[in-house]
Structure 1
Amino acid sequence: MRLINTSTLEFEQFLGTDRPRYAILSHTWEAQEVTYDETINPTHNTRQKAGFKKIERCFCLARENKTSYV
């Protein structure tokens, strides 16, 4: 399972049942969604997309709830 660290914004892989607590980000296919490549290397334009703002907000909420992964 690959999860995104909410502090570093980097993907981390967890194998088997040994995985941390994590939040789930709901996903929809809209014009403003962010691709995997854009998530890994966000540009200024990527950061302006509604989908990226949704991801950032999810990370903030996860951290507020003491959850380090999404």
Structure 2
Amino acid sequence: MNVVLTDTSGSASRSLSGYRKRFRIECLFRALKSKGFKLESTHMTLHVIVERLLCLLTLAYLWCVLVDVLKRAP
């Protein structure tokens, strides 16, 4: 069970929508860093190369997510 705490100024559905987006981004960062692609272990420092690698790894992550979603579909 998950609990999301929020202030009273916004609606619950808007708060949950924002939390869903944030959680997806956290999952991406987790996969890129410690749980999957291990981006930080490349030790790259050139901005252009890191940017390209980040784009490539993001596409690879999205591909993995889509394949898993399609695999689970009835």
User: TM-score normalised by the shorter chain: which range applies?
Assistant: 0.3 to 0.5
Q: Which has the higher contact order (CA 8 A, sep 6+)?
A: 1
Which is richer in strand?
A: 1
**Rg larger in structure:** 2
TM-score (norm 1): 0.36
